[in-house]
A and B are shown apart, each in its own frame.
Chain A
Amino acid sequence: MQDIILIGLNHKSASVSVRECLAFSDQEARSALVELRARKIVDEAMLFSTCNRVELLMAAKENETAIAEAKVFLANFKQISLTDFEDALYLYRGDDAVRHVFRVAASLDSLVVGEPQILGQIKSAYRAATEEKTSGVVLNRLLHRTFFVAKRIRSDTGIGDHAVSISYAAIELGRKIFGDLSGKKVLLIGAGEMAELAVEHLMRNRSGKIHVANRTFERGVALADHYNGMPIRFEEVPDYLGKVDIVISSTGARDFVVRKPHVKAVMRERRNRPIFFIDIAVPRDIDPDINSLNNVYVYDIDDLKGVIDENMEDRNREAVKAERIIDEAVIHFRQWYQNLGVVPTIKALRGKVGAMARDEVQKTIQQLGHLSESDRQAIERMTSALVNKILHDPTRFLKSNGCQGDRSESLDLTRKLFGLDE
């Protein structure tokens, strides 16, 4: 499998400034692929660029020249000097390259292990490669296996389970408290990136009306308009505690905004329906002692971080299982690849056709009991001659250089035509 090569850099090997310089937009990636193909540096290629990685996956017979030329090509294309990023580049060949692609797609190599976007990004990079016709038999097969492996890892391990961001963790907790978040009324106190992100997640879960309280009423009105919600005055917050189910707080207040007596007073009005406080502010807005009330749950930012850490540990544990699945997949891929050679293909072809012929002869002879021994031998000789004649031309075609261009394509077609991999 030595002709599969991957060069690239990621968040571990290169600083963000280097990654920025080398990042390809979709359009750039396409024109780079076209140029690579035109220059005949490599047989097949795929370029994969996200904010955390830039990788060039290639299949090339002339290994060393391809690697050297590809590096120069990247530098020239992005108009930076090769020395600026050469140290950050990693190089994988054969098994290692295949394993790396599998690991990237399964999100084992990601900054946040298990994040789901990466697979979609690889899919679109692959689509670009197929549309620009730079992917061939080897990369097609490799990428299809990659998608299969990544999906299997996602469904068979818990690598993508459980939130690893503050706002998602809050939503997940909300689900464990309320079951269904649809129709749950939300009160947003103050504003802030994380709080607004949480509100947006809630809205995606079809939460109910959103109330917005802000120290400056104008700002509150603007935010409320943004969420199609209702602005309330900051002083009204305690009154509204009886009406809402989820409170997200993120103010710059020095002291608690919601205190225990406020909540205690409304629990009867709420008929003890649960209420969930998400306190993203530092210093905190919600008195943590409120958590001791029945049917009231308070999570501050440290609590949420604790939840995330635990989820992250879970993911890392699951990653071990994923590595095992990948090892298995690499072995399977290697088997397929090795069979793609001329000799194994011809062998498999002759084996399959020969076995079929023998089986049929056996069946026929059993039915024709009256045949003499010499008759039987004649039939067997005739059959094997027939097999040889039929397979003569295909064998010669595969062995010769008659199949112009990519021989692996003919081999792959042969294998598919005769079902040799089944």
Chain B
Amino acid sequence: MQMLFVLAIPCYMFSSAGYFAYLFIQRSLLQKIALGLLLAGFVCQTVVIAWMFVVSGHMPVNNLNETLSLVAWTLVGTFLGLHIRLPVKVLGLYVAPLAMFLLLVAVQFPRELIQPQNLLKGFWLVVHIITIFVGDAAFALACGVGVLYLLQERSIKRKTPGFFFKRLPSLELLDNTGYACVVVGFTLLTIGLITGMVYAKNVWGRMWSWDPKEVWSAITWIFYAALLHERLTVGWRGRRAAIMAIAGFGVLLFTFFGVNFLLKGHHGQFTRW
């Protein structure tokens, strides 16, 4: 299993190289190879994660090693899912290196299985973890798409179609993709928060305890809710939506990692090492 885990790293590494080469040379074969490698890495990780789940009976988020691998896995998986409907091929250039980086960081931390408290078992918790991770991955993609949008918009506005103009897809596709990512992310985040609260009610007897993690999750949720609301009512799209998606991801990163490192509170186990 360790071998499969390690094998995912070169998969993502060569996939990154493939996407990078694709950016410059623009051969669709390179993009296909890179996508294939990404898929191969994803399959490796899927096997590892499924095995860990079966062996221990709980989601593998008990230390930083496991958490970061799961983040990489959901990020790649969400990208592959997105690719079926909205193929923003260059986005692989963002996903593959990011997944590689996450795994490279993950292996720096010990990976022995720590026996978790029984807290981590149960249906609600599994749903909570999966929806939150996939939702966050969707927001991460929205951020990446937002960056691409800003690059492309800049080259069109400045009337100097240079390197990126030819290589990036249309503004419309980028905007729609970003929007789709935010909608998916927001839906899953909402489900994740609800299941989290149900779980908290079961375990601690109350749904809300003003824990920093809970507060920041609420802030993140409100941020994306505002973004969606503005889009649906006055049509916030394009540049502004892209900037909001990038900023929103900043808030999300703080909620996910920053709170654990700086503010403590519960959820501490998934970033310990």
Contact = CB atoms under 8 A, between A and B. Distances in A.
Interface in A130-169: 158, 161-162
A295 B239 contact: yes
Contacts of A306: 159-160
Nearest to B238: A295
Contacts of A299: 159
Interface residues of A, number: 25
B169 A295 contact: no
A7 interface: no
Given A303-B159, A306-B160, A179 B238 contact: no
Interface string A260-301: 000000001011111000000000000000010011010100
A180 B238 contact: no
Contact of B234 (A175, A272, A295): A272
A400 to B, nearest CB: 52
A177 interface: yes
Interface string A362-397: 000000000000000000000000000000000000
B211 interface: no
Nearest to A291: B157
A177 B159 contact: no
A127 B143 CA distance: 56
Contacts of A176: 152, 156, 161, 165, 170-171
A179 B168 CA distance: 11
Contacts of B170: 175-180
Contacts of A271: 234-235, 237
Nearest to A304: B159
A18 interface: no
Contact of A297 (B156, B162, B235, B240): B156
Greatest chain B CB density within 10 A among A173, A176, A180, A307 is at: A176
Nearest to A295: B238
Nearest to A302: B159
Contact of A179 (B26, B161, B173, B236): B173
Given A297-B156, A306-B160, A178 B238 contact: no
A307 B161 CA distance: 7
Given A162-B166, A180-B172, A297-B156, A272 B161 contact: no
Contacts of A86: none
A310 interface: yes
Contacts of B169: 179
Interface in B207-256: 234-240
A150 to B, nearest CB: 20
Nearest to A176: B170
B172 A274 contact: yes
Contacts of B238: 272, 274, 294-295
Nearest to A294: B239
A324 to B, nearest CB: 16
A306 B162 CA distance: 11
A161 B161 CA distance: 14
A294 B170 CA distance: 16
Contacts of A310: 160-162
Nearest to A271: B235
A31 B239 CA distance: 63
Interface in A158-199: 158, 161-162, 173, 175-180
A174 B165 CA distance: 12
Contacts of B235: 268, 270-273
Nearest to B161: A307
A158 B156 CA distance: 21
B237 A273 contact: yes
Nearest to A267: B235
A178 B172 contact: yes
A161 B238 CA distance: 27
Contact of B159 (A268, A273, A307): A307
A177 B172 contact: yes
Greatest chain A CB density within 10 A among B159, B165, B166, B173 is at: B159
A268 B234 contact: yes
B159 A295 contact: no
Nearest to A314: B166
A307 B170 CA distance: 17
B150 to A, nearest CB: 12
B234 to A, nearest CB: 7
Interface of B: 26, 152, 156-157, 159-162, 165-166, 169-173, 234-240
Given A177-B170, A306-B160, 5 more contacts: A173-B161, A180-B172, A272-B237, A294-B240, A310-B162
Interface of A: 158, 161-162, 173, 175-180, 268, 270-274, 291, 294-295, 297, 299, 303, 306-307, 310
23 contacts: A161-B166, A175-B170, A176-B165, A176-B171, A178-B170, A178-B171, A179-B173, A271-B234, A271-B237, A272-B234, A272-B235, A272-B236, A272-B238, A274-B238, A294-B238, A294-B239, A294-B240, A295-B239, A297-B156, A299-B159, A303-B159, A306-B159, A310-B160
